[in-house]
């Protein structure tokens, strides 16, 4: 008879491995050697059983302590023959999640209880001016609701559900796969454990009807593109007395033709003539909530900015308001009158005088041309 391998060696972990490390190692081994991924491979099946046996011992603190002290003799020499109920939960979580099984050996997962309704999702568009003040929208939402005639039971008045004969009222049926005995939701009763023999004439036994309801959503000021608003209980109705789902409203804020948004701040371009930029001036700038006067400092250059405090957007999750950043686009006039040319020539002459004097002085002092 072949001697058993050390359990730590089977899982590939050290003797001082944490419970999390042991669980992760077993998960990796189970995936690698699971019979469904290695059909017709008896060696893989044995390795899978070996890993399950090792995990059943090392995941239990008491069994692990006995094994660390006495080896295999401390936990018995019986071969793996199924999942120990004390560690069933871990096996169900690990293997159930990996391979989609609903339960193992009479598992604890049952679908006969209340089922929460599905969440719904809808998108709306909010223009940038509406972001300043916030807005209310009334939406028409198609959704499943409990039938009013039978109050969601699916049965005719005075009728009672009967126990499902396919699963005996358990809501699950067993089936075999390889050396596993597994459970799945009963296909006849859908996991309820009962069947309706006298259905409601209004909903046909489903307990729900599809209706169109109007729902009002309040979009807060400062909302950003992609913000998701949650309306609790406005989704699909739950089954078997379950709570309703939620409605998620996804807000889209399209780009504005004039303003560029950066969080709560707004950016805008304004043209200023080169002469006004040189002398300094005041310009009128249109914002989302009116016109403001903006002082342009003398000597402003192309691309300079002027910040107007508090003329941006409300901050969604904080108090206060963003700023309006005015980007100056300094322009040069393409056409000048005769008088404007004369005046501009005088200005250029004045600007050139220092440079001329500097060159003359340099020649006099012997500095060359």
Which three-class secondary structure string do you get for the chain? CCCCCCHHHHHCCCCCCCHHHHHHHHHHHHHHHCHHHCCCCHHHHHHHHHHHHHHHHHCCHHHHHHHHHHHHHHCCCCCCCCCCHHHHHHHHHHHHHHHCCCEECCCCCCCCCCECCCCEEEEEECCHHHHHHCEEEEEEEEEEEECCCCCCCCECCCCCCEECCCCCCCCEEEEEECCEEEEEECCCCCCCCEECCCECCCCCCCCEEEEEEEEEEEECCCCCCCCEEEECCCCCCCECCCCCCCEEEEEECCCCCCCEEECCEEEEEEEEEHHHHHHCEEEEEEECCEEEEEEECCCCCCCCEEEECCCCCECCCCCCECCEEEEEEEECCCCCCHHHHHHHHHHHHHHHHHHHHHHHHHHHCCCCC
Where are the chain's structural domains? 7-100, 120-252, 260-331
> Rounded to two decimals, what is the model's pTM?
0.57
Per residue of the chain (369 residues), what is the pLDDT tens digit?
A: 457 889 999 999 999 999 999 999 999 998 888 877 787 788 888 898 899 999 999 998 889 988 888 888 877 654 444 444 344 445 555 555 454 444 443 444 444 567 888 999 999 999 999 999 999 999 999 998 988 888 888 899 888 889 999 888 888 888 765 555 677 888 888 788 888 889 998 888 888 888 999 999 999 999 999 999 999 999 998 877 788 999 999 999 999 999 999 999 999 999 999 989 999 999 999 999 899 999 999 999 999 999 999 999 999 888 899 999 999 999 988 888 889 888 888 877 877 776 545 654 555 565 444
We find that the CATH architecture of domain 7-100 is Orthogonal Bundle (1.10)
What would the CATH number be for the domain defined by 120-252? 2.10.230.10
Helices (H), the chain: 7-11, 19-33, 42-58, 61-70, 88-99, 128-133, 274-279, 338-364
29-55 burial code (b ≥16 CB/10 A, e <16)? bbeebbbeeeeeeeebbebbbbbbbbb
Task: Classify domain 260-331 by CATH number.
Answer: 2.60.260.20
CB atoms within 10 A of CB 234: 21
């Amino acid at each position: 008879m072949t001697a058993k391998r050390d359990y730590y060696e089977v899982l590939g972990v050290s003797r001082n491995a944490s419970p999390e490390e042991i669980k992760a190692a077993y998960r990796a081994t189970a995936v690698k050697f699971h019979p469904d991924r290695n059909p017709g491979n008896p060696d893989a099946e044995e390795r899978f059983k070996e890993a399950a046996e090792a995990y059943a011992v090392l995941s239990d603190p008491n069994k692990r302590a006995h094994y660390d002290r006495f080896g295999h003799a401390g936990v018995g020499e019986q071969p793996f023959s199924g999942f120990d109920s004390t560690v069933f939960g871990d096996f169900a979580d690990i293997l159930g999640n990996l391979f989609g099984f609903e339960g193992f050996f009479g598992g604890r997962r049952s679908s006969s209880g209340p089922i929460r309704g599905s969440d719904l999702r809808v998108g709306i568009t909010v223009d940038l001016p509406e972001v300043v003040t916030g807005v209310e929208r009334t939406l028409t939402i198609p959704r499943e609701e409990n039938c009013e005639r039978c109050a969601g039971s699916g049965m005719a008045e005075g009728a009672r559900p009967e126990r499902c004969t396919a699963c005996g009222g358990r809501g699950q049926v067993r089936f075999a796969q390889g050396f596993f005995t597994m459970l799945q939701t009963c296909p006849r009763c859908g996991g309820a454990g009962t069947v309706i023999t006298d259905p409601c004439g209004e909903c046909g036994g489903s307990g729900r009807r599809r209706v169109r309801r109007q729902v009002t959503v309040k979009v807060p000021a400062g909302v950003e593109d992609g913000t998701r608003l949650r309306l609790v209980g406005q989704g699909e109705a739950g089954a078997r007395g379950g709570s309703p789902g939620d409605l998620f409203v996804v807000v889209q804020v399209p780009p504005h033709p004039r303003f560029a948004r950066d969080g709560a701040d707004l950016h805008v371009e304004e043209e200023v003539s080169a002469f006004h930029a040189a002398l300094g001036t005041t310009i009128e700038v249109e914002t989302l909530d009116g016109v403001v006067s903006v002082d342009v400092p003398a000597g402003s250059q192309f691309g300079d900015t002027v910040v107007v405090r508090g003329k941006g957007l409300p901050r969604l999750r904080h108090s206060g308001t963003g700023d309006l950043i005015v980007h100056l686009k300094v322009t040069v006039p393409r056409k000048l009158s005769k008088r404007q040319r004369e005046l501009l020539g005088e200005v250029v002459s004045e600007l050139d005088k220092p440079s001329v004097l500097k060159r003359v002085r340099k020649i006099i002092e012997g500095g060359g041309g």
